[in-house]
Amino acid sequence: MATNARTNAQVMTRVTCIGAILDGLLGVFKIAIGWVSQSHALIADGVHSLSDLGTDALVILAARWSNEEPDANHPYGHDRIETIATLVLGSILLAVAGGILYDSLQRIVDPSIAVDLGVAAFAITITSIVSKEGIYRYTVHYAKKLNSKLLMANAWHSRTDALSSIAVLVGLVGVSFDALWLDAVAALVVALLIAKIALGLLWDSMQELIDTALPEDQMMAIRAIAMNVPGLRDVHQIRTRTMAGKILVDLHLQVDPRVSVSEGHEIGCWVASSIRNKFPDVSDIIFHIDPEDDASIDRQAPTTLRPLRAEVKHALEQDWGEICDIQELRLHYLRGKIDIEVLTSTRVTVAELRSASQRPWVGQISILKSIL
């Protein structure tokens, strides 16, 4: 687990650093060519490319911190850091979409605000589109491989530059054909697309932060997988949540109430292993072994606790001491009472034992004969 976390952090850092180097080079080239050609638009675009280094730094820091080992203060790990960073990137994308939308509306109101690029600026714009689309696809590949919404958000942040540059080129075509409005319409479409992606990232991140469960079909699949394990009678109170692409599962497993504690636990281990085999993204499973179905119990109602072994043994020795020597007791807490299996060498009947003890918590009584 620790090795996977370190590997994920290294991959995310490497992918983001490659994008950061590209952002830096593009920013410098755009500013230089804009300075030579006296293009304020290109200089502004170059500054925007350099500003992307800030979000790249955010991703690198989040990748490092979110993949740190769990500690005493964070026993579930630090995955929420990635979720929060994704929320920040989604907000930045939404702001970018708003800026493009505002600019496009200005162009619709005043079509005379047209884009005019020289040959050098045109070339750097084409280069920006190709390189940014390349880094987008490269980042998306690893985002899917690592199931990282943070990398996916950064990939789309890279693609916004490519899309906005495409809108600029469409505007140039519009200028050539005296269709000045074409630039504004293209930018409007780009803004809406980026906004849609940003809202999707924000929604998914907020769902993670409030511990939203998996879709119903996946919940049913988890139940079906568990029910295929021999020895399991029922599965209930299945609870799931996600953290940075990882799935956490809590569930109650009902087994035969007469099996040993160790056998019930082993059945639970088989259930956990089966779920992990079918759901590789599951990082943590907590199972609770039940001897009976407690799903319908009112958790808010006051509960009368039944006595534990020491108190039970002391009470029964008082009640049965004259008619039975108690060599061993097996207690089963079922249906609100205690079913008792008593190991004894004394010739005694269940009726005699029951008449000797009128304790309200005594349920079924079974006698096991000792041959020693």
Residues 6+ apart with CB under 8 A from 46: 26, 27, 28, 29, 30, 31, 32, 34
Statement to judge: residues 125 and 189 lie in one domain: yes
Q: What CA–CA distance (Å, rounded) separates 11 from 3?
A: 12
What average pLDDT does range 153-158 have in this prediction? Answer: 86
Condensed to tens digits (0 to 9), the pLDDT of residues 108-135 reads: 777 665 555 566 667 777 888 888 889 9
Q: Residue 122: inside a domain, yes or no?
A: yes
Residues 6+ apart with CB under 8 A from 91: 198, 202
| Mean model confidence pLDDT for the chain | 84
Q: What CA–CA distance (Å, rounded) separates 162 from 130?
A: 7
The CATH number linked to 68 is 1.20.1510.10
pLDDT at position 296 over 70: no
Q: Residue 296: inside a domain, yes or no?
A: no
Q: What CA–CA distance (Å, rounded) separates 47 from 28?
A: 8
Q: Pick the last residue of a domain from 175, 209, 243.
A: 209
The CATH number linked to 249 is 3.30.70.1350
Tokens in use for 191?
Answer: 């803004």
Q: Which helix (H) or strand (E) holds 235?
A: strand 232-243
Q: What CA–CA distance (Å, rounded) separates 154 from 59?
A: 8
Q: Pick the last residue of a domain from 238, 258, 290.
A: 290
Q: What CA–CA distance (Å, rounded) separates 285 from 276?
A: 9
Q: Residue 259: inside a domain, yes or no?
A: yes
Residue 240 in contact with residue 248, Cβ under 8 Å?
yes
Question: What pLDDT sits at residue 118?
Answer: 61
Number of domains observed in the structure of the chain: 3
Statement to judge: residues 220 and 204 lie in one domain: no
Question: Band of the pLDDT at 41, cuts 50, 70, 90?
Answer: low
pLDDT at position 372 over 60: no
Question: What pLDDT sits at residue 165?
Answer: 74
Q: What CA–CA distance (Å, rounded) separates 89 from 59?
A: 9
Statement to judge: residues 60 and 199 lie in one domain: yes
One-letter amino acid at 96 equals V
| 334: helix, strand or coil | strand
Q: What CA–CA distance (Å, rounded) separates 63 from 84?
A: 11
Domain hosting 330: range is 309-369
Residue 254 bridge partners (DSSP):
234, 290
Residues 6+ apart with CB under 8 A from 140: 151, 152, 155
Question: Band of the pLDDT at 27, cuts 50, 70, 90?
Answer: confident
Condensed to tens digits (0 to 9), the pLDDT of residues 273-293 reads: 999 999 999 989 999 999 988
Statement to judge: residues 52 and 33 lie in one domain: yes
What average pLDDT does range 177-203 have in this prediction? Answer: 80
Statement to judge: residues 182 and 230 lie in one domain: no
Question: What pLDDT sits at residue 339?
Answer: 92
**pTM of the prediction?**
0.77
